[in-house]
Amino acid sequence: MEEQPRRRTDEQPRRRSEEPLLKEDFEVPAVGWMWEPNTAAATKSSLKSANIKAKKSLGQNFCTDDQILADIVTAARVAPSDVVIEVGPGTGNLTRHLLATRARVLAVEKDDTLIERLREEFKQVPNLQLVHGDVMRLDLKALVAQMAAAAAAAAQLDSQASSNEPQQEQQQQQQQLQQPPPPEQQQQPADESSSSISSSRSSSSAAPAKQRRRGVKVVANLPYNITKEFLQAMLPQGGVVSELSIMIQEEVAHRLVDPTPGRPDYRAMSLITHYYSKPVYRFLIPKEKYFPVPGVDGALVTFKLLPPSKRVQVSGERGFISLINKAFSERRKMMRNTLQPLYTPQQVEAALQKAGVRPDARAQDLDVEQFAAVYNNLQAEQIAAVSAVQQ
């Protein structure tokens, strides 16, 4: 079979193309499973030839458009020697685009059959680590910590490379000064030559450019039915994970991204999302771009995770999240009623008033900052009550 040229992501803006790799350079396999053309469009035929059917029980829908996959990698800002966790690589369509950036990828696949396909296709790729398992049953903290250590190692390599550049440039300049200038430079006025040397020296002595913050990036084509559970596990990882880029149901995407209180679809998860991150809706992914075709359109959303120091400050994170969930358990009722028996109606009303919120407010009326103020006031009320009893 004549090999068809595969689409590369070179058409997309590339970043940090000159950075050192964690491992020696490599080529992404030119052909896929069973010698099918290595393109996302060949997914259906390659699965059929291998007599493999997508499993509804695992929510398997594979993106079959290489341009969309390239756009996902660009939106996720994956660059050379970045450290990426891919959840649900499936047939490896997105994996190929991630590897084409020269990133280091750890891919977690649950399907017993597909993991063997991936191992066969990518067995010669050193910058890919495959993990067989259910991402929701794995120790996510340990997994993230492992990749964070890899990210730190990559950052150290970058730093060493940057610190060596001025010294190498200075050595090159000294060698040039010791050699006689070429004839065309001998004819130049002396002030131009000295100015050029002076400018070059000043640039070599300048401080290295500020290193961008490194962190683990997570890219996932999630089964829609585990979106909430996955986000609940990953959003608090802002200390080590820099960004999530996930494909989710479009309706859910709009609900999570819009921070406006009072909307009919305003939920606890909307508020929690904005406490832990800054979500951005990237683009629509039509359902026809998947195989099998799901019942609804998808969308790509990137979540820039906030480290603890950048979040809205509360007196206790776990208690704050519990308060949000409790308040939204009956979101159409007034908070002074829904928060019983945790707090008395009088305590809730006092906390609301101190936060500048109406005493008859409902959970769906408050944004993140207002919820944080109410929670902090309630904690202060409880502390004051305990102190009064002890006295």
Exposure b/e, 113-126, CB count within 10 A at least 16 = b:
ebbebbeebbeebe
Judge if 135 and 248 occupy the same domain: yes
How are beta strands 277-285 and 298-305 bridged, if at all?
antiparallel
- Asked if residues 64 and 288 have their Cβ atoms less than 8 Å apart, the reply is no
What is the reported pLDDT for 147?
Answer: 81
- For 342-367, what is each residue's pLDDT tens digit? 888 888 999 999 999 999 999 999 99
- The number of domains in the chain is 2
134 assigned ligand-binding residue: yes
Helices (H), ranges, the chain: 43-49, 66-75, 93-100, 112-121, 140-178, 183-186, 190-204, 227-234, 250-257, 268-276, 317-328, 335-338, 345-354, 368-390
Average pLDDT over residues 189-202: 35
Range of the domain at 331: 312-390
Comparing 19 with 228, which gets the higher pLDDT? Answer: 228
Mean predicted lDDT score pLDDT of the chain: 81
Asked whether residue 221 is marked as a ligand-binding residue, the answer is: yes
The Cα–Cα gap between 134 and 217 comes to 19
CA 366 remoteness from chain centre: 27
Residue 193: per-residue pLDDT: 35
Where residue 70 sits, what CATH number does that domain have? Answer: 3.40.50.150
Does 345 lie in the same domain as 299?
no
Residue 174 lies in a domain: no
Q: Does pTM top 0.85 for this prediction?
A: no
Q: What is the pLDDT of residue 331?
A: 81
Confirm whether 189 is domain-assigned.
no
Of 308, 332, 361, the residue at which a domain comes to its end is: 308
Nearest C-alpha neighbor of 303 from the set 337, 347, 375, 252:
252
Domain stop point among 308, 334, 353 = 308
The domain boundary residue, chosen from 308, 337, 355: 308
pLDDT tens digits, one per residue of 149-183? 877 777 777 677 666 655 665 566 555 545 544 44
Q: What is the pLDDT of residue 145?
A: 82
pLDDT at residue 209 in the model: 37
Tell me whether residue 337 is annotated as binding: no
298 is in an annotated binding site: no
Integer CA distances (angstroms), 258 to 91, 311, 323, in order? 33, 18, 21
Residue 19 annotated as lining a ligand binding site: no
